[in-house]
Homo-oligomer: A and B are copies of this chain.
Amino acid sequence: MKYNIAVIPGDGIGPEIIGEARKVLDKVGMVYGHDFQYTNVLMGGISIDTHGVPLTDEALETAKNSDSVLLGAVGGDVGNSKWYDVAPNLRPEAGLLAIRKGLNLFANIRPAYLYKELSDACPLKQEIIGDGFDMVIMRELTGGLYFGERHTKEVDGVMTAVDTLTYNENEIRRIAVKAFDIAMKRRKKVTSVDKANVLDSSRLWRSVVEEVAKDYPQVMLSHMLVDNCAMQLVMNPGQFDVILTENMFGDILSDEASMITGSIGMLSSASMNESKFGMYEPSHGSAPDIAGKNIANPIATILSAAMMLRYSFDLDMEASAVESAVEQVLKEGYRTADIYSEGCKKVTTAEMGDLIAKRI
């Protein structure tokens, strides 16, 4: 079958890691008889350089008309890049926010798990890690403080800035349903994270999540305050299966969760709409400091492509083949610089892509 994939290399290491993911997808196509067609889309700094804006309407349209989107990373070095000498809505990251909203990608799925082979890089002690951990953060991505009304103006001669955190029951319900659906395929545990002792939006969140939970009697639901969750991630990460939370809390907690794995270069993510359409991207950023050096780790992007095969194209077998190839290569001791430890074989970005593609 033919699949039209909008590919957004973006900035920094984006083009390099996307190149390796395409390499792997092409191999999957060859072996399993699929035809992956790629359309290049500009977003972020490179779009600013070319068109003066981080995402053009045409670029968004191209993404919309594709079967799925594969994204590298956007953004540059904030302190040292002309991209940031402009209004916030013209900066590279604004393209990311615009495409999330424009494609209605409300469900951001970020897995965070410990690679046994890489547990040396985990910042947590062995007593804390125990038998390892394996969680998914389900972050609401198109609501809350990110997309609420905001303004800055003088009030009685004093500069005052306002942001608004809004959620309605439909927005909460649809992300909760996604979280429970994923939990059903996993260890059947949802931890919904909010600040219900302070926020109205959190109290509505809690009540809608409890309503949704009634349709999933097999799933164990618990609620946790966001400050407590930030502590629990460090003290006992193994307790989590699916963490369900709103946009800003999800931003903070998913980064914390990815960091405790010690292998952020390995973590993929998906952002989905109501149907099977999704945008797939590594959890890490554009790492401008190592761009163009052929040393970035392409695995997070390759695993994001695997997520795409599974979630958007229903190609479970093909997705598993990619995941197994990654595992295989790690078992054989191949490592990019970010995950290298003594006794392993250090490889470049391109070599890592080749090694994985070869094992499919």
Residue numbers of A with Cβ under 8 A of B are 88, 91, 93, 97, 122-125, 128, 145-146, 150-152, 155, 158-170, 195-201, 203-205, 208, 226-228, 230-231, 233-235, 248-249, 251-256, 258-260
Q: List B contacts of A97 (CB < 8 A).
A: 198
Q: When A170-B158, A252-B227, A255-B230 are in contact, do A123 and B235 touch as well, CB less than 8 Å?
A: yes
Q: List B contacts of A252 (CB < 8 A).
A: 226-227, 230, 249, 252
Q: Is the interface of A mostly helix, strand, loop or mixed?
A: helix
Q: In whole angstroms, what is the CA distance A84 to B235 when docked?
A: 27
Q: List B contacts of A251 (CB < 8 A).
A: 195, 226-227
Q: How close is A199's CB to chain B, nearest CB, in angstroms?
A: 5
Q: How close is A131's CB to chain B, nearest CB, in angstroms?
A: 16
On whether the beta carbons of B168 and A165 are closer than 8 Å, the reply is no
Most chain B beta-carbon neighbours within 10 Å: one of A93, A162, A258: A162
Known: A230-B230, A231-B258. 18 other contacts (CB 8 A): A88-B198, A88-B203, A145-B198, A145-B199, A150-B201, A155-B168, A158-B170, A159-B169, A160-B167, A161-B166, A161-B167, A161-B205, A164-B165, A227-B251, A228-B255, A230-B255, A252-B252, A256-B256
Q: List B contacts of A151 (CB < 8 A).
A: 200
- List the B residue with the shortest CB-CB distance to A92: B197
* Interface CB pairs A-B, < 8 A, 23: A93-B197, A124-B124, A145-B165, A145-B195, A155-B168, A158-B169, A159-B169, A160-B167, A161-B167, A161-B168, A161-B203, A163-B164, A163-B165, A164-B165, A195-B248, A195-B251, A227-B251, A227-B252, A227-B254, A230-B230, A231-B255, A231-B256, A234-B260
Q: How close is A26's CB to chain B, nearest CB, in angstroms?
A: 33
On whether the beta carbons of A161 and B260 are closer than 8 Å, the reply is no
Q: List B contacts of A230 (CB < 8 A).
A: 230, 252-253, 255-256, 259
Q: When A128-B123, A159-B204, A163-B200 are in contact, do A234 and B248 touch as well, CB less than 8 Å?
A: no
Q: Which of B124, B163, B205 contacts A123 (CB 8 A)?
A: B124
Q: In whole angstroms, what is the CA distance A196 to B87 when docked?
A: 11
A-B pairs, top 7 by smallest CB distance, nearest first, are A161-B204, A231-B259, A230-B256, A160-B168, A227-B255, A150-B200, A161-B201
On whether the beta carbons of B203 and A152 are closer than 8 Å, the reply is yes
